[in-house]
């Protein structure tokens, strides 16, 4: 479990390196083991054959020495085995089992090879040694037995050399495999790392405009291409979202403006209504007051006349006010109709001035008209225009201190 | 080999020679009989062998060796030829058969020279029980080494002059005497 986890956490490069190394190591081990086993079998075979041949020659050359009972001669024949490094000892036995002659390069270190049992002939591997037996024949009859012992030094030497070579080659192959694995790993993991870096950039900075650079058309290349396509989609959607968001904000702003406007309008309307009520009540106060006095019948005739005049003026003023309110209502509902015709502005201003002359006189305000008859001929609705001018003059008189002057001047301006 | 031969010579000269009249142990005769038989296998005779022809070993002198020889070689054969042990009758041909080996025993005195003269030049292997047999004109002489082992000298030149061929396996065990080849 731990190993699996460790393997899972290992970078791809290291995984590939490990894989390459393990694969080559296993291949080398298996093939080396097979080769060594095969070679050993072959080598043993050839050793047996060589030694058997050797034994045959020595036995043939020893036959007469045995029959003529000349151990010294046999000794000389056996001594030739010194050329065989691995033959450590050889013994010639006579048929009655007595040692006839011996040769030993391992004198004193080991007992001579045992006398053969009759049943045994040929060779045997025992205790890391090869024992070869050979009957010594003279004229078709056995006269003795040659026993040779080979301590297989060459075999162990060869095995050691093989193992050393295998170790060297394995080490070299392993290094090459590791290098190849590292290179392959880099080739594979580098694009993935680049891709991961791009993905991180995207997730950290929400920047959908970056793109991973494709390096090839392998699996990783496909992944990179797909990733980029995904980014395309994300970028499009992001842009769309931003656009919609901006639009919504704009709309909200718009709505907020409208709302404020509506609120303003409402407030103005309230203000207007308050003002209107006040304006409508002012003349009514006078009318109601004087009417009450009249009805009590205690007024002198001059006072009654004055009362009726005040009532009349205030009733007219209120009528005018109501007409104005109706006009405003008409303007709002678009029902106001202007009767446009050619008119002289001076006439209109003079008419308006006449209608406020009384009010001006009451405050000792001097109305100064600077008019040139016939100079201001325009097209318009004379009643409305007169109304506008009257409004202006009324306000002017209202807010001018007593004894002041209100000047009305009509002059021809430059046509726009 | 040279060293060994010299050593053997030194040892031989140092060893006290056995008096000619001293009896030879029977065991030694058995060994010599076996040697004689083995010689027959290691020597080639020039003339082809005829079918049914016996391998004749002729013995000179009344020697107890002859009896031993007969016992040891009874029923044996050399290259398919049955071995016959016969007393030497003074001629190269014993009756119908040729002689292959002429054995000269101990203490035969003048008979040695007569016997050798009778077979001179013939392809007959002459073996003597006397260490000086080769000096007297024989081919192989038995001798006893200082260690008491039976050994033999071979006069190779004399043997080859008669057309006999000796195996190297035999020669390597012998002390070669007489002129070199």
Structural domain contains residue A261: no
Sign of dihedral through CA atoms B103, B106, B111, B113?
positive
Residue at A41 is within a domain: yes
Q: Tell me, yes or no, whether A355 lies in a domain.
A: yes
What is the C-alpha to C-alpha distance for residues A252 and A257, in angstroms, rounded to an integer?
A: 9
Q: What is the CA radius of gyration of chain A?
A: 68
Check which CATH number belongs to the domain holding A168 and give it: 3.30.450.20
Pick the range with the lowest mean pLDDT from A89-98, A181-190, A238-247, B105-114: B105-114
pLDDT attached to residue A117: 62
Q: What is the DSSP letter of A83?
A: G
State the best of B40, B172, B175, B176 to mutate against chain A, taking most chain A CBs within 10 Å: B172
The Cα B116–Cα B125 span in angstroms is 10
Distance from CA of A71 to the nearest CA of B (A): 10
Picking from A128, A145, A172, the residue at the C-terminal end of a domain is: A172
Q: In whole angstroms, what is the distance from residue A267 CA to residue A261 CA?
A: 10
Whether the per-residue pLDDT at B8 is higher than 50: the answer is no
Contact B38 A73 (CB under 8 A): no
Domain count, chain A: 2
The overall average pLDDT reported for chain B is: 79
**Helix, strand or coil, per DSSP, at residue A103:** strand
DSSP sequence for A207-218? -TT--PPP--SS
pLDDT tens figures, A121-160:
688 887 778 888 888 988 888 899 898 888 888 888 888 8
pLDDT at B10 exceeding the cut of 50: no
Q: A126, A146, A172 — which closes off a domain?
A: A172
CB contact under 8 A, B173 and A64: yes
Structural domain includes residue A98: yes
Over residues B135-145, mean pLDDT: 90
Query: CB distance B170–A72 less than 8 Å?
Result: no
The pTM of this model reads: 0.56
Which of the four pLDDT bands, split at 50, 70 and 90, describes residue A106?
low
Residue-wise pLDDT tens digits, A353-378 = 888 888 888 889 998 888 776 666 78
Distance from CA of B93 to the nearest CA of A (A): 27
Per-residue model confidence (pLDDT) at position B181:
44
- Are the C-beta atoms of B153 and B171 separated by less than 8 Å? no
Q: Which of residues 22-61 of A touch B (CB under 8 A)?
A: 61
Please give the Cα distance from A339 to A331 (Å, whole number).
Answer: 14
Q: Domain residue spans in chain B? A: 4-16+23-176
pLDDT for position A338: 83
Interfacial B residues in 36-65 facing A (CB < 8 Å): 38, 41-42
CA of B149, closest CA in chain A: separation in Å?
8
Span A370-398, average pLDDT: 83
Is residue A22 in some structural domain? yes
Q: What is the CATH number of the domain that holds A345?
A: 3.30.565.10
DSSP B133: T
**pLDDT bracket for residue A339 (50, 70, 90):** confident
In order of A48, A82, A83, A114, the CA distances from A150 in angstroms are 10, 12, 13, 13
CATH class of the domain defined by B4-16+23-176:
alpha beta
What is the band of A271 on the pLDDT scale with cuts at 50, 70, 90?
A: very high
Residue of A nearest to B31 (CA): A68
A410 domain residue, yes or no: yes
The overall average pLDDT reported for chain A is 85
Q: What is the gyration radius of the CA atoms in chain B, in angstroms? A: 16
| Cα–Cα distance list, B52 to B73, B81, B97, B108 (Å) | 18, 7, 10, 32
* Residue A144 in domain: yes
Is pLDDT of A310 > 80?
A: yes
Range of the domain at A19: 12-105+113-172
CB spacing of B149 vs A69 below 8 angstroms = yes
Q: Is residue A50 part of a domain?
A: yes
| Other beta carbons within 10 Å of A88 | 22
């Amino acid at each position: 479990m731990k190993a699996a986890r460790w393997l899972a956490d290992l970078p791809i490069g290291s995984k590939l390196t490990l894989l390459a190394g393990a694969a080559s190591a296993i291949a080398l081990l298996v093939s080396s083991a097979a080769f060594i086993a095969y070679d050993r079998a072959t080598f043993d075979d050839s050793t047996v054959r060589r030694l058997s041949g050797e034994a045959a020659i020595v036995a043939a050359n020893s036959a007469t020495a045995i029959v003529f009972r000349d151990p010294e001669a046999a000794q000389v024949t056996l001594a030739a085995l010194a050329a065989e490094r691995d033959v450590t000892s050889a013994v010639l036995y006579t048929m009655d089992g007595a040692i006839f002659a011996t040769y030993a390069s391992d004198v004193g270190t080991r007992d001579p090879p045992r006398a053969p049992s009759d049943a045994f002939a040929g060779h045997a591997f025992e205790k890391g040694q090869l024992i070869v037996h050979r009957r010594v024949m003279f004229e078709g009859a056995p006269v003795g037995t040659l026993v040779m012992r080979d301590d297989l030094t060459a075999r162990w030497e060869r095995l050691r050399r093989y193992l050393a070579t295998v170790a060297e080659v394995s080490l070299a192959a392993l290094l090459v495999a590791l290098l190849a694995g590292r290179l392959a790993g880099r080739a594979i993991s580098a694009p993935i790392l680049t891709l991961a870096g791009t993905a991180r950039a995207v997730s950290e900075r929400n920047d959908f405009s970056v793109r991973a650079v494709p390096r090839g058309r392998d699996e990783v290349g496909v992944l990179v291409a797909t990733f980029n396509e995904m980014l395309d989609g994300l970028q499009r959607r992001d842009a769309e979202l931003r656009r919609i968001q901006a639009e919504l904000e704009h709309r909200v702003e718009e709505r907020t403006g409208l709302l404020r406007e509506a609120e303003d309008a409402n407030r103005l309307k309230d203000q207007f209504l308050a003002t209107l009520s006040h304006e409508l009540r002012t003349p009514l106060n006078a009318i109601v007051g004087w009417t009450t006095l009249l009805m009590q019948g205690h007024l002198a005739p001059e006072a009654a006349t004055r009362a009726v005049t005040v009532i009349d003026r205030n009733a007219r003023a209120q009528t005018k006010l109501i007409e104005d309110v109706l006009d405003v209502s008409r303007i709002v509902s678009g029902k106001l109709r202007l009767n446009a015709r050619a008119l002289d502005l001076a006439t209109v201003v003079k008419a308006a001035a006449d209608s406020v002359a009384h009010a001006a006189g009451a405050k000792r305000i001097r109305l100064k008209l600077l008019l040139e008859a016939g100079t201001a001929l325009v097209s318009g609705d004379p009643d409305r225009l007169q109304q506008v001018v009257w409004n202006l003059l009324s306000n002017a008189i209202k807010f001018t201190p007593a004894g002041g002057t209100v000047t009305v001047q009509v002059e021809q301006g430059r046509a726009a | 080999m040279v060293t060994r031969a010299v050593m053997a010579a030194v040892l031989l000269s140092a060893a006290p020679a056995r008096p000619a009249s001293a009896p030879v142990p029977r065991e030694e005769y058995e060994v010599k009989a076996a040697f004689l038989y083995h010689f027959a296998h290691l020597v080639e005779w020039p003339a082809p062998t005829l079918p049914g022809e016996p391998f004749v070993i002729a013995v000179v002198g009344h020697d107890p060796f002859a009896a031993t020889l007969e016992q040891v070689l009874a029923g044996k054969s050399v290259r398919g030829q049955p071995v016959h042990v016969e007393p030497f009758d003074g001629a190269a041909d014993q009756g119908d058969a040729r002689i292959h080996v002429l054995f000269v025993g101990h203490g035969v005195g003048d008979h040695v020279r007569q016997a050798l003269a009778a077979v001179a030049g013939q392809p007959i292997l002459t073996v003597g029980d006397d260490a000086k047999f080769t000096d007297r004109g024989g081919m192989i002489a038995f001798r006893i080494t200082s260690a008491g082992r039976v050994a033999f000298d071979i006069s190779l030149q004399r043997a080859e002059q008669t057309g006999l061929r000796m195996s190297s396996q035999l020669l390597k065990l012998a002390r070669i005497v007489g002129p070199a080849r």
